[in-house]
Amino acid sequence: MAAVEDILRSYRRPRVVIREHLRRMRSESRLFSFLFAALLVIFVAQWPRLARQHYEVPDIPMPGLLLGTALALAATVPFFYAIALIVSWITRIVGGRGDGYGARLALFWALFTVSPLMLLHGLTLGIVGFGIQADSLSVVVFAAFLLIWGAGLRVTQFEGRA
């Protein structure tokens, strides 16, 4: 239940939540679990869209759509690590004092925090389909991600280690 509470608090006070995570013992397995949980929720969020796609084009088997989506999400894991590494380098260039662990924490936590919004986005795509509603929700999800990630980077890279 603590993760759900932290996610909800992250929408109101993301820097406080990130500081609390920084105060805990460093654990790469915890960071990976944030990333894995986020990707798992994002995978589940794709099911309504995939069901709609299968309904509209029944020639494409649903298990194939699910497997393709799962493999695509699994393939993104190294890219998330690379993004965190590059961002940590960039923040060091502009005067940041953080490290790669903090950059990974900020990125993975932001992704995990917006994953419930991605569930709503997936439902919208499944029920309404592509259109202004889904596009508007995409903007909201992306803005929330950027704000939470930015707040996390501010804490982990510019406030120093907790």
Round to whole Å and give the CA distance between 14 and 19: 9
C-beta neighbour count of 52 within 10 angstroms? 16
Convert the pLDDT of each residue in 35-90 to its tens digit.
Answer: 999 999 999 999 999 999 898 888 989 999 999 999 999 999 999 999 999 999 99
Please check whether residue 37 is in contact with residue 119, taking contact to mean a CB–CB distance below 8 angstroms: no
Round to whole Å and give the CA distance between 114 and 122: 12
Give the predicted TM-score (pTM) of the model. Answer: 0.89
Round to whole Å and give the CA distance between 154 and 132: 33
pLDDT at 161 over 60: no
Q: Domains in the chain: how many in total?
A: 1
Convert the pLDDT of each residue in 82-129 to its tens digit.
Answer: 999 999 999 999 988 888 899 999 999 999 999 999 999 999 988 888
pLDDT more than 90, % of the chain: 57
Domain of residue 45, residue span: 2-158
